[in-house]
Amino acid sequence: MDEVWARAAGAGLAAGLVAVLVTRLIERLGGRLGGVLGTAPTTVVPAALGLLGQPEADFVASMATIPVGMWVNAVFLGCWRWLPGRLGALPGPAQLPAMILSSLAVWAVVGLIALQGLRLGAAGGLPPLAIGLLALLCSLGLGLWSCRGGLHSPGASRPVRPAVLLARAALAAVAIGAAVLTSSLAGPVVAGLAAVFPAIFLTTMVSLWVSQGAAVQGAAVGPMMLGSASVSAYALLAAFLLPWLGGPLGSVAAWLLSVGLVTGPAAWALRPRRTAPR
């Protein structure tokens, strides 16, 4: 049990350290490019290393579950674009709390449905990696649909306070540490979903809403949806590469491939176009 706690603490600490980068990237680069680059695989890397201590079949099942959780997170992100306009009747101070509760409620309901679907798929003999690949394709489709028609991407005007960044790091650390702990208590499927609890997405949306306004966080939603598909790609690649190459080398290989296959092309596709002079 001490080994499990040590893995959880190490994974959580690493996740907290990398979590602060997302808001800074969006703040510096705007919602379009910052949203894509900020969702490159980060906390999933220490989470995968922490889960690597399981039997290989359980590790593969956990990694295959992560794309399903990321699809649920894409739905969660969509709430932050589509729901604010429907909360206009609420008083200003009540809009953000209502947004937080509504988006988390959607995440919980969709997550429970996805979890039941995973169990039914497993009972029907559907390979976990096939389910993960389908979820990855659904996330890519949802991200592309959300980015259709171009994006207005305002830059941030005020820096996010250090206290908010610290809160984001702490929440991400707790979420990832809990994922590693639950892998030994609740099984690999629940652990895979816990590993992608939208701690970073939630705190990013809240901190940008508070410090920059709804326009900046709204502009980041589509690119974050699309860019976060790289996390799913990382998980599927890690299912093969980490047991084969070992933790450190497998992590590097999976990260480079997922960024090269998803993050890079997404950043290129969403880059601002310059209008040719007439």
Give a yes or no: residue 278 inside a domain: no
Whether residue 109 lies inside any domain: the answer is yes
Among residues 131, 158, 156, 191, the alpha carbon closest in space to that of 38 is found at 156
Tally of domains in the chain: 1
Residue 207, Cβ density class (10 Å: 0-12 exposed, 13-18 middle, ≥19 buried): buried
How does pLDDT run along the chain (278 residues), one tens digit per residue? 566 566 666 666 666 666 666 656 655 655 556 666 677 887 788 778 878 878 888 888 889 888 998 999 999 998 888 887 787 677 777 888 888 899 989 988 898 888 888 888 888 888 888 999 999 999 998 888 887 765 555 555 555 566 666 776 776 677 666 666 665 566 666 665 665 677 777 777 777 777 666 655 566 788 888 888 999 999 999 999 999 998 889 999 999 999 999 988 887 877 765 544 44
Find the farthest-apart pair of alpha carbons in the chain and give their distance in angstroms, rounded. 69
Asked if residue 130 belongs to a domain, the reply is yes
What lies within 8 Å, CB to CB, of 153 at 6+ separation is: 30, 31, 32, 33, 219, 272
Neighbour-count burial of 119, counting CB atoms closer than 10 A to its CB (0-12 exposed, 13-18 middle, 19+ buried):
exposed
The reply to whether the predicted model has a pTM over 0.95 is: no
* Residue 131 structural domain: 2-269
In a domain, 275, yes or no: no
Write phi, then psi, for 194 (nearest 5 degrees).
-60, -35
